[in-house]
Amino acid sequence: MPDQIKIVEVGPRDGLQNEKQFVPSEIKLLFIDKLISAGLKNIEATSFVSPKWVPQLADNDLILSALLVNETYQDISFPVLVPNVKGLELAITHSAQQVAIFTAASETFNQKNINCSIDESFSRFKEMLPLIQKHNLKVRGYVSCALGCPYEGKINPRAVLEVTEKLFKLGCEEVSIGDTIGVGTPKQAYDLFDLLKEHVPVDKLAMHFHDTYGQAIANIYAVLELGIKTIDSSTAGLGGCPYAKGASGNVATEEVIYLLNGMGLQTGVDLDKLIEAGLYITDYLGISPRSKVTLAKKGAL
């Protein structure tokens, strides 16, 4: 297992976009500041998707601009999601330095999620390449439904591999493999990443597990054994997927840090400060934290 683990915090984007209410910009920025104070250095800040589809992130320009002008955040990475050339242009206008593109291993899910086929999504990515190269942007790729699809059921691991290889060929510096509906089990997760590492650089793969069936932490442990060193997670377990009915939030960052601390693996994240950040945003939302670690610490279990 790798000694140093990279955590990519997706709560401010992947988490808050799935909450029904719009969170004011100042609350989002304070939430992100608390995450940074806890030691997180890779934070998915927002998404440059049309407010028509994701109204919760309609303040994307304000959020990114505020983060990038803060001199105390110089060593923090703030990737933003971009679905097409228009979104990319907006992100560049607001000085984005790292962008994320996304597709799926399921044709049906891709149609439901971004209204195009897998091949069409790659055509969109190719249209974005000149701008990405011109502005020397770092690019992260996402593959959704890698361990199961709400419409197609089980996904062939070879289909995941094919999409992942294409993303690397396009120039992605890292590709995050997502169990979008949280149906995967440790053996499935292990076998998939074991296949992927035979064909793509192991140090450029990330795991992105949702916890619908309570398997996320077990899946992470299984994949860590293969040497994968990057984990996507969401503080307080915020998130879900609007196009995958019944899918719960991402694995809670608190759970991930508790696991890694117990294994003696380094993250640079202070668990107590992380719990404070999670309580801050859930208190604002008026919901209970979905992190069992937080609930245990509060004496609620």
Q: Residues 6 or more apart from 236 whose CB is under 8 A from it? A: 11, 15, 252, 253, 254, 278, 279, 281, 282, 289, 290, 291, 294
Map residue 269 onto helix, strand or coil.
Answer: coil
Token match 């380094």: residue?
Answer: 266
**Environment class of 39 (CB within 10 Å of its CB; exposed 0-12, middle 13-18, buried 19+):** middle
Q: Is the dihedral of CA 215, 28, 104, 231 positive or negative?
A: negative
**Is 241 a catalytic site residue?**
yes
Q: Judging by DSSP bridges, how do beta strands 174-179 and 46-47 pair with one another?
A: unpaired
Catalytic residue among 145, 149, 172, 241: 241
- Residue 119: count of CB within 10 angstroms of its CB: 11
Tokens read off for 124: 């969109």
Q: Residues 6 or more apart from 288 whose CB is under 8 A from it? A: 282, 295
d(CA 255, CA 277) in angstroms, rounded, equals 14
Q: What b/e string do you get for 200-229 counting C-beta neighbours within 10 Å, with b at 16 or more? A: beeebbbbbbbbbbebbbbbbbbbbebebb
Length of the chain: 301
Contact 250, 14 (CB under 8 A): yes
- Residue 42: count of CB within 10 angstroms of its CB: 19
From the list 89, 88, 15, the residue with the least C-alpha distance to 45 is: 15
Annotated catalytic residues are 241
